């Protein structure tokens, strides 16, 4: 089997990707830009990584695509797996050039831009008959509401900073004003009650669905709403169908996660998402299918080709979430988290590859 180059090794999702691809027999090379990561990425220590390569500068540099292209040209036509959004967007804008030296499943830049725009996504959902939260022009007539920019990622915001929750008029005015520094016309929507869930899909070069996985959030940090710290796999055919129709309508190819709350679509992450390690924990063929399809192999979708009821946690983040729930007078999730010590697996851990988890702990302590 050929080589796979995984970019942006600083992201935790790169560990799961490296393991799944390495176990399948592929030679795995992982890259990381020096200015974006001071400490050695945990994935570099994986037994499934043949080589960790540092690239000078930052992924935000204008000449970063040239440095990445040069590295890819050294390999024998590898598959390119972009773990970071900056790299994904850079390659999307030079797809024809990069196609000369590697294989990949990356949507055109126009499709990525549209899917990153929450307002554009909700308009398309309306056209497709897919429910979305109610939006408000100006001050809302009911609370709580969510305030968010059209694309928080463009401003380098962390996941927890990409939106704000307002429970009343004065709170709305203050948080709306704060969001204006990122977007001159922030989106204001009702805060939908219920459990958050995601449908993660992989579409091949023809836009055909070839892999899918659903997960629901168990806990998140901060407790008021933030990235998932513990989640569980399940299967929902209707959710996958809605996500597929939405992505296909934009001409999307590659990997994406469509975020739901109840029946409503909240947003789309048209890239590798934070809970991507669930694909490894649930024995999904996601990463392997990506490499095979990128190289031109035609694969067929097999519904439910992963384990359901698998619970996964990012232990350090989950401990912070448990304490935050307790501080907010919600002891239920705290005690549920205690029980999950015996049920949920660590997202970054693996019996056959323990080094990345140890390195992650070490790096976390050094950063503190």
347 contacts 215 by C-beta, under 8 angstroms: no
Per-residue model confidence as pLDDT tens digits over 44-80: 999 999 999 999 999 999 999 999 999 999 999 999 9
Q: What is the pLDDT of residue 136?
A: 85
Longest dimension (CA), the chain: 60
Claim: this prediction has a pTM higher than 0.85: yes
The encoded tokens of residue 309 equal 């009821």
Residues in the chain predicted with pLDDT less than 50, given as ranges, are none
Q: What is the pLDDT of residue 1?
A: 73
Q: What is the pLDDT of residue 170?
A: 83
Per-residue model confidence as pLDDT tens digits over 276-316: 999 999 999 999 999 999 999 999 999 999 999 999 999 99
CA distance 232 to 308: 8
């Amino acid at each position: 089997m050929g080589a796979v180059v995984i970019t942006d090794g600083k992201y935790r999702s790169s560990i799961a990707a490296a393991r799944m691809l390495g176990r399948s027999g592929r030679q795995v090379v992982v890259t990381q830009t020096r200015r974006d990561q001071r400490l050695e990425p945990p994935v570099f220590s994986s037994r499934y990584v043949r080589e960790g390569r540092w690239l000078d500068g930052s992924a935000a540099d204008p000449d970063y695509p040239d440095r990445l292209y040069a590295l890819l040209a050294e390999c024998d036509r590898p598959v390119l797996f972009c773990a970071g959004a900056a790299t994904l967007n850079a390659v999307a804008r030079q797809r024809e050039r990069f196609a000369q030296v590697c294989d990949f499943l990356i949507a055109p830049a126009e499709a990525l831009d549209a899917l990153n725009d929450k307002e554009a996504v909700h308009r398309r959902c309306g056209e497709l008959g897919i429910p979305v939260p109610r939006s408000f022009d100006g001050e809302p007539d009911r609370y709580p509401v969510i305030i968010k920019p059209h694309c928080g990622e463009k401003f380098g915001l962390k996941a927890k900073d990409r939106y704000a929750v307002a429970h009343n008029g004065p709170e709305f005015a203050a948080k709306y004003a704060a969001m204006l520094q990122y977007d001159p016309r922030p989106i204001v929507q009702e805060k939908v009650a219920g459990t958050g869930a995601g449908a993660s899909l992989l579409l091949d070069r023809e836009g055909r669905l070839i892999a899918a996985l659903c997960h629901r959030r168990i806990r998140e940090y901060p407790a008021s709403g933030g990235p998932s710290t513990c989640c569980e796999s399940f299967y929902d055919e209707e959710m996958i169908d809605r996500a597929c129709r939405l992505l296909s309508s934009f001409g999307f190819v590659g990997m994406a996660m469509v975020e739901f709350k109840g029946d409503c679509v909240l947003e789309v992450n048209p890239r590798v998402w934070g809970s991507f390690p669930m694909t490894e924990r649930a024995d999904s063929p996601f990463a392997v299918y990506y490499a095979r399809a990128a190289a031109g192999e035609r694969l067929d979708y097999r519904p439910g080709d992963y384990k359901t009821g698998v619970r996964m946690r990012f232990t350090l983040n989950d401990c912070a979430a448990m304490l935050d729930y307790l501080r907010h007078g919600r002891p239920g999730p705290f005690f549920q988290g205690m029980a999950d010590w015996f049920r949920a697996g660590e997202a970054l851990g693996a019996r056959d590859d323990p080094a990345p988890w140890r390195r992650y702990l070490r790096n976390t302590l050094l950063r503190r």
